[in-house]
Amino acid sequence: MFSLERWQEIFETISKNKLRTFLTGVSVASGIFILVVLLGIGEGMQNGVEIQFQRDAENKVSVTGGVTSLGYGGLNPGRDIQLVLDDFYTAVQTSDFDIEFQSPLYRVWSGLASNGSESGSYRLEGVHADYQFLEKASIINGRFINPLDQDLGTKNVVIGNRVKKDLFKEKDPIGEFITVSGVKFKVVGVYTDPGGERSEARIFMPLKTAQRIFGNGEDIRTISFTLPKVSDYDLALYQSQAFLKKIERQLRSKYNISPVDTSALYLSNNIESTKEIYTILSTMKLFFWGVGIATLFAGIIGVSNIMLIIVKERTKEIGIRKALGAVPMSIVGMVLHESIFVTALSGMFGLILGLLLLESVGPFIDTEFIVNPEVNFNVAVSTVIILIIAGAIAGFFPAWRGARIKPIDALRDE
């Protein structure tokens, strides 16, 4: 069926009917092009949402002290709830669950850091070694705060990539000293954080060090944990809620907080919001698939239409060919071969064009909502194949009808 002779005949027909070929090609190529770009943008938006929401470990739970809004046990409302390091250890010791990562946090909202003439104002955070994983920070260079730093209260700091760029430009900061609020610290690591610029404008140091230099005794701001991941979402949610509930109950009783006061303790459970992210993502996925399938469908209808017109237009030619000895299957083969060839070629062309656009423009898109717009290559190739098959099926019926038409009737067609 796909002999060299047939190819020659097809090439001849195609090259002699440039407009027809061009129109078919353009409609197929533009359909695929639109589809690819659309899927790319969809993917980019998904990436954007994921990054927006998943700045920290997706199974992180934390408790932060707030201000009471209700009087309780003879105490007035408007009381600051100041957590202390003991609260952290109590939570760890009384936990009913194994804990994966754990860290207290002491925060100074703004501290002036400088290296020679370069300076900037950054958040200072005193933490334990696990905090790296709770924050999803990854080390670019050097290391994170380690248990030894914590035990000894070393003046070692880990700086965010933003801080590194501000204070060190292109220089390697590891082993260099910076001055923070008048105290000298040694830089031992540089980290990057999926939370972006703001999350990278921080300086981590051992909790003990932060408490000693910037703090007030044993005060801490937040305690954070993760439980080991379980594959079942509902189980993970149940465990995290039970774990958090227990800490909350202990703190409420220790600090004399009304059981209905919602502002005295800030409880956060990322697993709960993960559910929302997954809902948003799956809704978006559904939307883009819907639009994609609609586009594909429109493309298929376009191709079928063109095929129908082509066969209609070629009725007389088909009659002549049959009179000269073309068997019905050779007519079907001719029409299909041509249509498959043209759809495949222009489909690939549209695909490559779309991929090139995403590849070249994608990295320059500077918005938080579209990140790294890419198309799964397999998905893209599958769409082209689907379109070709659909085009072939859609082309088959007109081709078959053309082949069945009696030669005298076809010859009479003007």
Partner 1 sequence: MIEIKDLHKSYKVGKNSLHVLKGINFSVKEGELVSIMGSSGSGKSTLLNILGMLDEADQGSYNLDGVPIKNLNEKLAAQYRNKFLGFIFQSFNLINYKTALDNVALPLYYQGLPRGERMDRAMSYLEKVGLADWATHLPNELSGGQKQRVAIARALASHPKVLLADELTGALDTKTSYEIMDLVQQINDEGKTILVVTHEEDIAQMTKRIVNLKDGVIIDDKKVEPIRASAHV
Q: 142: exposed, middle or buried (C-beta count within 10 Å: 0-12, 13-18, 19+)? A: middle
For residue 312, the minimal CB distance to partner 1 (Å) is 16
Number of residues this chain uses to bind partner 1 (CB under 8 A):
26
User: Taking Cα atoms as reference points, which of 337, 331, 314 lies closest to residue 392?
Assistant: 337
Q: Is 324 in the site for partner 1 (CB under 8 A)?
A: yes
Beta strand pairing call for 202-206 and 118-127: parallel
What gap in Å lies between CA 295 and CA 33, rounded to an integer?
A: 10
Return the number of the residue (107 or 322) whose C-beta is nearest partner 1: 322
Q: Which of 235, 323, 356, 361 binds partner 1 (CB under 8 A)?
A: 323
Kindly identify the residues of this chain, within the stretch 21-50, that bind partner 1 according to CB under 8 A.
none
Q: According to CB under 8 A, which one of 1, 5, 93, 367 is a site residue for partner 1?
A: 5
371-410 positions binding partner 1, by CB under 8 A: 404, 406-408
Q: Which of 196, 272, 328, 348 binds partner 1 (CB under 8 A)?
A: 328
Alpha carbon of residue 373 to chain centroid: 9
* Residue number with CB closer to partner 1 (260 or 324): 324
Measure the CA–CA gap between 25 and 22, rounded to whole angstroms.
5
Dist. CA 80–CA 25, nearest whole Å? 70
Within 8 A by CB and 6+ apart from 305, the residues are: none
Phi-psi map region of 334: left, alpha, beta (phi>0 left; psi -120 to 50 alpha): alpha
**What's the CA gap between 137 and 140, in Å, rounded?**
9
Give the nearest distance from C-beta 337 to partner 1 in angstroms.
14
Among 296, 321, 332, 347, binds partner 1 (CB under 8 A): 321
Pair 204, 127: CB distance under 8 Å: yes
DSSP-derived secondary structure for 325-340: T--HHHHHHHHHHHHH
Can residue 17 be called a binding residue for partner 1 (CB under 8 A)? yes
- Examine residue 322 and tell whether it contacts partner 1 (CB under 8 A): yes
Per CB under 8 A, does 327 bind partner 1? yes
Sketch the per residue contact string, 291 through 320, with partner 1: x for CB under 8 A, - otherwise: -------------------------xx-xx
- Unique residue bearing structure tokens 């009479």: 412
| Min CB(26)–partner 1 separation in Å | 20
413 binds partner 1, rule: CB under 8 A: no
As beta bridge partners, residue 62 has: 224, 268
Q: Determine if 337 is a binding residue for partner 1 (CB under 8 A).
A: no
- Rounded to the nearest 5 degrees, what angle is found at the Cα of 139, between the Cα atoms of 135 and 143? 110
Kindly state the smallest distance separating residue 333's Cβ from partner 1, in Å: 12
CB 354, min distance to partner 1, A:
32
74/325 with CB nearer partner 1: 325
> Which residues ranging from 130 to 149 are in contact with partner 1 (CB under 8 A)?
none
Binding site for partner 1 (CB under 8 A): 5, 8-9, 12-13, 16-17, 316-317, 319-330, 404, 406-408, 411
